[in-house]
């Protein structure tokens, strides 16, 4: 059985939230459950649950995701696919305004891709040797712990 890893990472590529799903599960339906689990502790006060922006590829461009992000005042840095752009233009004034994309912020998406490439360097994660999903998830969590510990050891 194949599995898929879904992660939220911060601007430095450090994993914040991870979910394991069956391999046939799509990426975009998992964004909202990932955002629900996001909790970033602070030195004082409640944990932060709302990021400033969400960077994603065209797979995350859906009306539901954009509406959810807008309702939580989270900036969506997600390009609009050509087919959605065509549908919106065909509807004319009823199609809504074009999606704004901050091209400079979108360049930071390579951090996400590098994190996935780093994750796939673990042979057990790339080939899914583990029989049980809980063991596979433990490897993903261990990878995240090692990434965070390396980051903390590099700090002055």
Task: Please give the pLDDT value at position 36.
Answer: 92
Q: In angstroms, rounded to a whole number, what is the distance separating the alpha carbons of residues 1 and 119?
A: 19
Which contacts qualify for 146-150: CB closer than 8 Å, 24 or more apart? Answer: 147/13, 147/14, 147/15, 147/118, 148/14, 148/15
Reading the chain (156 residues) residue by residue, the pLDDT tens digits are: 577 888 888 888 889 999 888 878 788 888 999 999 999 888 999 998 999 999 988 888 888 999 999 999 999 999 988 888 888 888 888 877 778 888 888 888 888 888 888 888 888 787 777 778 888 889 889 988 998 898 888 776
Helix (H) or strand (E) holding 150: helix 133-154
Task: Please give the pLDDT value at position 156.
Answer: 66
Q: Are 136 and 128 in contact (CB under 8 A)?
A: yes
9: left (phi over 0), alpha (psi -120 to 50) or beta: beta
Q: Are 125 and 141 in contact (CB under 8 A)?
A: no
Q: What is the CATH number of the domain that holds 108?
A: 3.30.420
Q: In angstroms, rounded to a whole number, what is the distance separating the alpha carbons of residues 119 and 113?
A: 10
Q: Tens digits of per-residue pLDDT, 33-45?
A: 999 999 988 899 9
Helix (H) or strand (E) holding 21: strand 15-22
- The three-state secondary structure class of 73 is coil
Task: Please give the pLDDT value at position 1.
Answer: 56
Helix (H) or strand (E) holding 3: strand 3-9
Q: In angstroms, rounded to a whole number, what is the distance separating the alpha carbons of residues 6 and 3?
A: 10
Domain that holds residue 11: 3-154
Q: What is the pTM of this model?
A: 0.79
Task: Please give the pLDDT value at position 68.
Answer: 94
Q: In angstroms, rounded to a whole number, what is the distance separating the alpha carbons of residues 31 and 1?
A: 22
* Percent of residues, the chain, with pLDDT higher than 70: 99
Q: Are 16 and 10 in contact (CB under 8 A)?
A: yes
Q: Which two structure tokens, joined as six digits, stand for 115? A: 């994190």
Q: How many domains does the chain have?
A: 1
């Amino acid at each position: 059985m194949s599995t898929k890893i879904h992660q939220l990472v911060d601007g430095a590529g450090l994993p914040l939230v991870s979910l394991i799903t069956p391999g046939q599960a799509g990426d975009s339906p998992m964004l909202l459950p990932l955002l629900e689990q996001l909790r970033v502790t602070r030195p004082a006060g409640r944990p932060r649950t709302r990021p400033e922006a969400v960077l994603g590829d065209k797979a995350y461009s859906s009306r539901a995701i954009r509406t959810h992000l807008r309702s939580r005042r989270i900036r969506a840095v997600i390009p609009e696919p050509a087919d959605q752009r065509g549908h919106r233009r065909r509807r004319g004034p009823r199609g809504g305004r074009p999606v704004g994309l901050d091209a400079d912020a979108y360049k930071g998406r390579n951090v996400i891709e590098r994190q996935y490439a780093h994750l796939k360097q673990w042979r057990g994660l790339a080939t899914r040797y583990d029989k049980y999903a809980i063991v596979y998830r433990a490897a993903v969590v261990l990878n995240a712990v090692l990434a965070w510990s390396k980051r903390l050891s590099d700090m002055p």
